[in-house]
A and B are shown apart, each in its own frame.
Chain A
Amino acid sequence: MSILPFFILIPLAGYLLSLLLPAKRETLISGLSFGVVGTHLAGALAFLGYWLLNGCPVLNEKDFVVFTAPGYEFFIDLYFDKITAMYLFVGAFLTFLVTMYSRFYMHRESGYKRFFNTILFFYLGYNITIFSGNIETLFVGWEILGISSFLLIAFYRDRYLPVKNAVKVFSIYRIGDVGLILAMWMSHHLWHENITFLKLSNFDLVHEHLQSHSVIGAFISLMILVSASAKSAQLPFSSWLPRAMEGPTPSSAIFYGSLSVHLGVFLMLRTYLFWEHQFSIRILIGLSGLLSTFVATGIARVQSSVKSQIAYASIAQIGLIFVEMALGFENLAIFHFAGNAFLRTYQLLVSPSVVSYLIREQFYNVSFRGRTIEALYPAKLRNTLYMLSLKEWNLDSLMYRYLWNPLKWAGNRLNFLTLNRVLLFFIPAYIAGLICLANDRLIPEPVHRVLAGVFSLLGLLMVLKSFTERRKARMSWTLVVMNHFWIALSISFNEHFTYSHVALYLSGIIVAGIVGYQCLSRLKRLEGNINLDQFHGHSYRHPRIALVFLLACLGVSGFPLTPSFVGEDLIFTHIHEDQVMLAFFTALSLIIDGLAIMRIYARVFLGPHAKSVYDMAYRSS
């Protein structure tokens, strides 16, 4: 038995225990968190010492197989090398300090327990990610990080802006997730197995495969880059990072100042051996990093709020880390990550002091409004750059304009669909599909492929409708659940495989779908209106229903370690590498699916409580 799993089991056990504690017992809650994180840090330091003394070997172990099928194996694999070592050290050290910090800082805050739950949950995801030995394991951690980020940004769930921004950040994360899903899909086809990172370090193997499949290789690298850029707030995704600073300061410091935001870097480092020999990709990574650095520096220079300034300054440094990686300075990048993480955490934690400190500085130095380099520019150029930087180069609205608005536009075309019409059309259509499937031997092979495409498109339409539904929460929910059935149907046409795969995939969905529907029905009985046109904030009066519904959401969205998660991954292996459209439709419907689910949760349960106007903050605050 090796020691690596303990680094995941400790936070897992801590997280589960922390859920059981009563919310009023602050000392107990923080004491447990402190104990868990402290033990973890002590273990990490001891292990790191031992590992250093033994000459820093690379460790890999296949821990347990979650699921096998012919030609497919889903297993959890753990890996440890210098990259993990540095991420472990920085992560354990900072989480330990921030837990200590928050023990007192969070005193009397109404979400005290929720805060520590989420921190431990985050820490679990972080450790799974950094110890992961294959992309599948990494993806498990990645998803946990996404959800815990969402929960921490929306920590003040009775206010409008945190919830709005949480949904916004989640949607960007979702793009990153899809990048990873697609990378996983392609790499199944490239390696014909769930490749471990260890094997990636086998130069001959990688070289041989890439030589014959250079396009596939480029595609995988590109998807990894997209994913990493989204997570590390590089262009064009940068604008989410400052908007994530809605939670209590220590959580912003640890998540968005240091650990979470550097995981994109981690992904790039982890797959370094894979893209190292793809010259064009390296140029792309370098350029992307360089551009992010320049743009983010400009934006940081004009920020007049302290947290957004730190956020953009950090993005600029991460851009440089990307450049360092592209240039092949792997060790420098690892070192740079640690320095940047420590620095930004500390800067964020002391950021409230900036008022008394800078005011005093100013009071004694008249020269505080010194001339900056920009004063030398011609006025028109200067004004233009200033205004662009102030508007963050429209990054925030670009995401809307080119990503979400077209989706909304498409969804709005489907406004003619009412619940009845949906049922009237889609149920017969689905039954027809099933009949075809039962008699699929009668259908010629090329038609199979077309049908697969058609059904996945229908699924996509379902989620689009769900995503833009303004009125009925339950209808939106039903559509989301049904989407998975369409995907299953579509893939069944694509390739003959056992029904157990489909059953595995759908079993989780069905249970979660029913539970979620029940929650919404109950809430509707209790409260009446639960349309999706506004935030209702029902968690204010019904925290329990909110919690159960959140779990159902996780189930339906294929959250790691639910059966549907494995199923999702499995389903993708049945899409052939030349079926780009099918993969695209399926991936797109999974992104929107996740978004639509979080949208329902946010609209119904989060935000200012619609019925307690006098107890709520202003929308703009």
Chain B
Amino acid sequence: MTTRPAPFDEDEVLHELKHYLPAQAPLKDFIHHNTLHAFQHLPFYKAIQRASALFGYKVSLSLSEYRAAYAAGQIKETILEQKIRERKGEKALADWKDRLLHAPPDATTLPRIGQLRANWKRQYRIDLDSLVHPVLFRVLCSYLDQGISIWSFPVADQRFLSALREMEKNSFSSFFRTRRVRDLFIQGPCTITELLTQLVGDETWFAQYLYDQQFAHQGWSGMVSAIEDQPQTLLDQRQISVHDLIVFELLLEMDALDSQFGAGAWEPLARRLQDAPPALFADVNASGLDDMLTIWQEAYEWSYYEDVLTGLVANYGPKPAPAEKSFQALFCIDDRECSFRRYVEQFDPECETFGTPGFFNVEFFYKPQDGQYLTKLCPAPVTPKHLVKEADAKSARERDIHFTKHAHSFHSGWLISQTLGFWSAFRLFANIFRPTMTPATASSFKHMDKHARLTVEHGATDGFEDGLQIGFTVPEMVARVEGLLKSIGLVREFAPLIYVVGHGSSSVNNPHYAAYDCGACSGRAGSVNARVICSMANHPEVRAQLRERGIAIPDTTDFVGALHDTTRDEIMFYDEHKLSPVNQQRHSANEITFAKALDYNAKERSRRFASIDTRLSAKRIHELIKIRSVSLFEPRPELNHATNALCIVGKRDLTKGLFLDRRSFMNSYDYQIDPDGNYLFSILKAAAPVCGGINLEYFFSRVDNQKLGAGSKLPHNVMGLFGVANGIDGDLRPGLPVQMIEVHDPVRLLMIVQHKPEVVLKTIQRAPETYEWFNHEWVRLVVFHPETEALYLFKDGAFTPYTPAQGQLRTIQDITPLVETHQENLPVYALH
């Protein structure tokens, strides 16, 4: 991996560099992913230690935080000792325990990144970053801007460098300070190698110099790289590449040097290099501190895992099944639906709930009425071939005059500030004392009009649009419905009503709004998908063909789509008027169940919110939660995936009656109808990167909120509608803001699969990219053998039996008293 001896290969270096840059897309397409994806080919601890040594990231909690968790009993002594024994042997136990608990942290060494380029400051006393960054960021932001500026970039239809060249050629002003560099740029072509020869001189340092340079503003570089790879992520598309960015930046650096020392009157950096900085990609050896942190992290995670595994085993057993099911409901696997499902089951013991990724196995592009663009509604890596259109929508979009750009020009601004200005005072007053929904609110229910029609079926006359087939043909529908039902194990005993509940969120003053919506729908609400799959499953022709395939859904059964707003805890049902009269009656009864469950769900959520007294009645709290979601001054409309830690793939029997504190993704799966693991394969293929990605993004944003997260969101400034930065001259801040992750405990995702270990092993080995997650322990995997009820832990490529330490599952009748009195994470309880 060392780059030093090899000759400089521009393409290869750029390719590698892009791999290491943050991969976050523009805000509207925010999708969770493993922040350290570039290191995923290495085992977890090795990877994070390497990332830390190279780039200066903090990759775990600090010693003092672990010690505090130990003192608070969150890390158990027995488990800490067990982890020391595993790694250091019985003999070293006392010594290591003492060290872990009392040794002062070693002096930290400097990260490798930036050390080469720091020589400009050291040897030349010039601060290139402060001379180059402001101009560079400004030009980049203006070029990429999606609609904040009133007067947009004059030559936006050309590639970045050509656009700049065009402007430089034809202007009395310049982005450069000096003539020489400007002429150099105008004459072109300015290859990176050529510029580096002038700036750095020695080819052995070229690659490292580029890393230093780009990682001095990894936010902007990462955004450019993301847009280069998927230009369609911008509505108003731009052609830009990391290559172009580097060329421009190198020129700006030369320009700054010229203006400081005179045209060309400076030596290349390598010429004055006194001590060679450490090579960026040289091997990294774990330090003593790394060893300590690893043991702490293991103990931290297993203190929680043990609790969960003990609970699962103890809770397992036949559950009384109702003779007749009142309804069945499919939810997203999302950890936020965990408690909602529990309450729905609690208030109607005769119902049955399932979890499955929230796009419900239908992948398509969606075009709302009057929409000028397409929205992808399926997991991000999938590229759909179908189009679903909205028609006959009735509600009109509302506008807010406060966002009008006229307020920014002086003549209309003169009028506006003297008229609208006073209206603002009133609005502000109203919004602080009586927050209400405004056009500025991002609401999940606006995603689709409730009364609009969707073009689900591909009719003979429908044809194609934008290269996509409008709607689905009947066989295509059958395949999707069958896939969905079989993967969750719902193939018999259908209830008269089957709800398919997507989810979305509402918030205001929240640039990260897309991160709160459904990840399986590419950061959008899941309402359209829910309606589409229901419409398919209700189709008589589809029913007939399903019956031929052994899935006999009674004619009396209706599928009903719905959307759960996870911020406001509201639910909206779709197409209820199409239900049979008797089902309409049943539905009215169920609506009461849902409403009650939502009230209690809100109450349970409120224990984390300082502004709400959790001891109030569920109904009252629900009201307060709704107000909170539209309050301008509330930076935490909801806590999203914070505290997520588990992913359970199996029957609901495994977890029913277990209090998991909203920490678990839950994917329903019946091993009995999938002996070879075919459906399991698709489930894991999606769940590992989606749930693992969410988990690791929270993990790293939590442990290093400054470098891997976005810092506090309170000072954030929106840049070009695609990113946020601090102030006006700052680097973009990818990752999650502190308000999203502060309550998160950084534990890796523990995935528990209910099947035979040998089947699971074969299944995960089928796709190398899935296998990597488990093999390198970015996600921990435990199998629960459904017949022997034994646990197996996946480690070093094999499943080995695992017995949790003797522990008792705590039992509690009603969770409410606990919820009312505790803010922190709660342990696993059995609810009896």
Q: Which residues of A contact B (CB under 8 A)?
A: 26, 93-94, 97, 100-109, 155-156, 159, 161-162, 164-165, 242-243, 245-250, 252, 293-294, 296-297, 300-310, 312-313, 316-317, 319-320, 335-336, 338-347, 349-366, 368-369, 372, 374, 379-380, 382-384, 386-391, 396, 613-621
Q: A-facing mask of B232-259, CB < 8 A → 1, else 0?
A: 0001100000000000000000000000
Q: How far is the CB of B86 from chain A (nearest CB, A)?
A: 27
If over half of B's interface residues share one DSSP class (helix, strand or loop), that class is named, otherwise mixed; here it is: loop
Per the bound structure, the CA–CA distance linking A618 and B222 in Å amounts to 15
A621 in contact with B175 (CB, 8 Å) = no
A358 in contact with B432 (CB, 8 Å) = no
Q: 10 closest pairs, A vs B, by CB?
A: A339-B421, A346-B424, A304-B145, A356-B442, A343-B421, A383-B171, A313-B408, A248-B714, A617-B706, A353-B440
Given A249-B715, A354-B403, residue A97 in contact with residue B428 (CB < 8 A): yes
Q: How far is the CB of B725 from chain A (nearest CB, A)?
A: 7
B483 close to A (CB within 8 Å): no
Q: How far is the CB of A38 from chain B (nearest CB, A)?
A: 12
Q: How far is the CB of A528 from chain B (nearest CB, A)?
A: 13
B172 in contact with A364 (CB, 8 Å) = no
B28 in contact with A621 (CB, 8 Å) = no
Give the contacts of B54-90 with A (CB-CB under 8 A): 56-58
Residues of chain B within 8 A of A102, CB atoms compared? 633
Q: Which of A105, A247, A319, A354 contacts B718, CB < 8 Å? A: A354
Q: List 20 A-B contacts (CB under 8 A).
A: A165-B729, A316-B408, A319-B410, A320-B414, A336-B417, A343-B421, A347-B402, A352-B718, A353-B509, A358-B148, A358-B403, A359-B721, A363-B368, A363-B371, A369-B147, A372-B150, A383-B173, A617-B707, A618-B217, A618-B731
Per the bound structure, the CA–CA distance linking A388 and B727 in Å amounts to 21
Q: A-facing mask of B633-651, CB < 8 A → 1, else 0?
A: 1111000000000000000
A340 in contact with B417 (CB, 8 Å) = yes
Given A97-B429, A302-B151, residue A313 in contact with residue B173 (CB < 8 A): no
A620 in contact with B217 (CB, 8 Å) = yes
B706 in contact with A305 (CB, 8 Å) = no
A355 in contact with B717 (CB, 8 Å) = no
B397 close to A (CB within 8 Å): yes
Residues of chain B within 8 A of A365, CB atoms compared? 372
Q: Which residues of B contact A (CB under 8 A)?
A: 27-28, 52, 56-58, 108, 110-111, 129-130, 133-135, 138-139, 141-142, 144-154, 156, 167, 170-175, 216-219, 235-236, 368, 370-373, 397, 399-400, 402-403, 407-410, 413-414, 416-422, 424-425, 427-429, 432-433, 439-442, 446, 508-511, 513, 610-611, 631-636, 704, 706-707, 711-721, 725-731, 733, 739, 742
Residue of A nearest to B418 (CB): A339
A307 in contact with B728 (CB, 8 Å) = yes
A342 in contact with B425 (CB, 8 Å) = yes
Q: Which of B145, B171, B368, B421 contacts A338, CB < 8 Å? A: B421
Residues of chain A within 8 A of B368, CB atoms compared? 363-364
Given A159-B726, A355-B27, A364-B372, residue A301 in contact with residue B235 (CB < 8 A): no
Per the bound structure, the CA–CA distance linking A161 and B730 in Å amounts to 7
A309 in contact with B149 (CB, 8 Å) = yes
Of the listed residues A297, A355, A617, the one surrounded by the most CB atoms of chain B closer than 10 A to its CB is A355
Could you list 9 further interchain pairs (A-B, Cβ under 8 angstroms) beyond the known A305-B718, A388-B173? A317-B414, A339-B420, A355-B721, A360-B397, A364-B368, A366-B372, A386-B154, A391-B173, A620-B730
Of the listed residues A293, A296, A374, A386, the one surrounded by the most CB atoms of chain B closer than 10 A to its CB is A386
Residue of B nearest to A90 (CB): B425
Of the listed residues A308, A339, A347, the one surrounded by the most CB atoms of chain B closer than 10 A to its CB is A339
Per the bound structure, the CA–CA distance linking A485 and B725 in Å amounts to 45
Per the bound structure, the CA–CA distance linking A155 and B715 in Å amounts to 10
B428 in contact with A105 (CB, 8 Å) = no
Residues of chain A within 8 A of B726, CB atoms compared? 156, 159, 161-162, 246, 621
Residues of chain A within 8 A of B730, CB atoms compared? 161, 620-621
Given A359-B28, A387-B174, A614-B58, residue A301 in contact with residue B409 (CB < 8 A): yes
B711 in contact with A161 (CB, 8 Å) = no
Of the listed residues B27, B402, B446, B714, the one surrounded by the most CB atoms of chain A closer than 10 A to its CB is B714
Residues of chain B within 8 A of A380, CB atoms compared? 170-172
A391 in contact with B135 (CB, 8 Å) = yes
Per the bound structure, the CA–CA distance linking A450 and B413 in Å amounts to 54
Given A345-B424, A362-B235, A621-B733, residue A306 in contact with residue B717 (CB < 8 A): yes
B236 in contact with A369 (CB, 8 Å) = yes
Q: How far is the CB of A554 from chain B (nearest CB, A)?
A: 25
Residues of chain B within 8 A of A347, CB atoms compared? 402, 407, 424
Per the bound structure, the CA–CA distance linking A363 and B524 in Å amounts to 14
B148 in contact with A108 (CB, 8 Å) = no
Per the bound structure, the CA–CA distance linking A313 and B407 in Å amounts to 8
Residues of chain B within 8 A of A364, CB atoms compared? 368, 370-372, 397
Q: Which of B175, B407, B433 contacts A391, CB < 8 Å? A: B175
B721 in contact with A161 (CB, 8 Å) = no
Residue of A nearest to B138 (CB): A390
A350 in contact with B707 (CB, 8 Å) = no
A156 in contact with B715 (CB, 8 Å) = yes
Residues of chain B within 8 A of A368, CB atoms compared? 147, 236
Residue of B nearest to A26 (CB): B610
B371 in contact with A243 (CB, 8 Å) = no
B727 in contact with A162 (CB, 8 Å) = yes
Per the bound structure, the CA–CA distance linking A303 and B370 in Å amounts to 29
Per the bound structure, the CA–CA distance linking A343 and B424 in Å amounts to 6
Q: Which of A97, A357, A384 contacts B439, CB < 8 Å? A: A357
Per the bound structure, the CA–CA distance linking A360 and B403 in Å amounts to 12
Residues of chain B within 8 A of A349, CB atoms compared? 428, 509, 632
Residues of chain B within 8 A of A300, CB atoms compared? 150, 408-409
Residues of chain B within 8 A of A312, CB atoms compared? 408
Given A342-B424, A363-B371, residue A352 in contact with residue B148 (CB < 8 A): no
B408 in contact with A352 (CB, 8 Å) = no
Residue of B nearest to A115 (CB): B714
Of the listed residues B418, B419, B631, the one surrounded by the most CB atoms of chain A closer than 10 A to its CB is B418
Residue of A nearest to B635 (CB): A105
Q: How far is the CB of B502 from chain A (nearest CB, A)?
A: 19
Q: Which of B28, B148, B610, B633 contacts A305, CB < 8 Å? A: B148
B142 in contact with A350 (CB, 8 Å) = no
A305 in contact with B403 (CB, 8 Å) = no
